[in-house]
Amino acid sequence: MSFTEQEVELLSRQLPLWVEASKVRSAYGKTASYIPELAKAPQHALGIHLIDTTGTAVSSGDCSLSFTMQSISKVFTLILALMDNGEEAVFQKVGMEPTGDNFNSMLKLELVRPGIPFNPLINAGAIAISSLIHGKDSAEKSSRILSFFQALAGNDTLTYDMDVYRSESDTANLNRSMAYLLKDNGVLEGQVEEVLDVYFHHCSIQVTCSDLARMALVLANNGTDPVTGVTLIPRRYVQIAKTFMITCGMYNASGEFAIQVGLPAKSGVSGGILTMVPGRLGIGVVGPALNVKGNSIAGVHLLETISRELDWSLF
């Protein structure tokens, strides 16, 4: 299904105004500080790109901005891990539950048995997922991930932002701590540093809003790229990914996002948000200023506005 006429009319008229109104919120957030490179992003930028299954696209705001996927990549490494290993093997290493804790919390890894990450979209879970990607070494694993992401985005030029990669790797003491705890809990296969190298690489893949929108479109279309007709992901794994995006996609603000927006989504600390209207639209958003939960403050506001105005909640 394509955009409805009413949607096209409303979006072309209102979207720039909504973007302006949401942009104001950037002043109340701040760019991520824990990875030094991310702190350099333009705090007040805000862009959105929407694409429907016919390939029709609408965009507004700062859509030329490149940024790294960060946690958004976790949705697709989860999918690749499922494709590589099947559901049963994956869910022996990560659970299916939201945590209520910060995305980098280790409390439940110590308090709750078995000591597996509660879900694949918190940091601990995504690190466990990185260790499940097939490949003879970290280079091959990273290369397989990058190729998969390129196919999903329909963009052969996707690659790493090596400055962010290095910044991330150099300052990742908390992720290292988490990875060694996972290792001690028997969750991680392989060498910790190799697993982390895979993890830092996929977090550092550089995209624009239109790349995110294309990747989201494949999910919205149940795994088949509507532009090429090629099936990239089995439908069941799309279903799993979308469900996690509802329950855990926006860190420990996922519940609120589900109520105020009602769409499957995944955010990253670079300020990106990937979301979709299932069956119809892929959406990419970027706004580097984050709220206290680590989500784009302007991006969340913009999606709340659009979903409410166009009645897009699944619920």
Interface residues toward a second copy, by CB under 8 A: 95-101, 105-108, 110-111, 118-119, 173-174, 176-181, 183-184, 192, 239-240, 242-244, 246-248, 252-256, 258-259, 262, 264, 278, 313-315
CA distance 290 to 292: 7
Catalytic residue flag (residue 74): yes
> Between 46 and 218, whose beta carbon lies closer to a second copy?
218
The partner residues of 61 in beta bridges, in order of sequence, read 47
> Between 23 and 280, whose beta carbon lies closer to a second copy?
280
> Between 55 and 86, whose beta carbon lies closer to a second copy?
86
User: Which of the following is catalytic: 198, 251, 261, 300?
Assistant: 251
For 245, other C-beta atoms within 10 Å of its C-beta total 26
Largest CA distance in the chain: 56
CA distance 50 to 29: 24
Helices (H) and strands (E) in the chain, counts: 12, 7
The partner residues of 277 in beta bridges, in order of sequence, read 281
Whether residue 33 is annotated as binding a ligand: the answer is no
Whether residue 147 is annotated as binding a ligand: the answer is no
CB of 268 to a second copy, least distance (A): 19
User: Which of the following is catalytic: 207, 269, 285, 300?
Assistant: 269
For 25, other C-beta atoms within 10 Å of its C-beta total 20
φ, ψ (nearest 5 deg) of residue 216: -65, -35
User: Which of the following is catalytic: 199, 210, 261, 285?
Assistant: 199
Which pair of structure tokens corresponds to residue 159?
A: 């690659």
Cα 275 to Cα 158, 258, 312: the distances in Å are 19, 12, 12
> Between 5 and 311, whose beta carbon lies closer to a second copy?
311
Query: Quick check: 204 and 68 in contact, CB under 8 A?
Result: yes
Cα 68 to Cα 24, 193, 268: the distances in Å are 23, 21, 8
Which pair of structure tokens corresponds to residue 103?
A: 């995305």
Catalytic residue flag (residue 251): yes
Helix or strand or coil: residue 113? coil
Catalytic residue flag (residue 71): yes
Whether residue 237 is annotated as binding a ligand: the answer is no
CB of 264 to a second copy, least distance (A): 7
Whether residue 24 is annotated as binding a ligand: the answer is no
Whether residue 189 is annotated as binding a ligand: the answer is no
Whether residue 168 is annotated as binding a ligand: the answer is yes
CB of 219 to a second copy, least distance (A): 10
Whether residue 194 is annotated as binding a ligand: the answer is no
CB of 182 to a second copy, least distance (A): 8
CB of 64 to a second copy, least distance (A): 32
> Between 28 and 180, whose beta carbon lies closer to a second copy?
180
Residue in 123, 119, 127 with CA at minimum distance from that of residue 106 = 123
> Between 71 and 119, whose beta carbon lies closer to a second copy?
119
CA distance 281 to 298: 20
CB of 187 to a second copy, least distance (A): 11
Cα 112 to Cα 78, 97, 99, 109, 252: the distances in Å are 22, 12, 11, 6, 18
Q: Detail the residues annotated as belonging to a binding site.
A: 71, 123, 168, 175, 199, 251, 269
Give the residue numbers marked as catalytic: 71, 74, 199, 251, 269
Binding site for substrate, by residue number, is 71, 123, 168, 175, 199, 251, 269
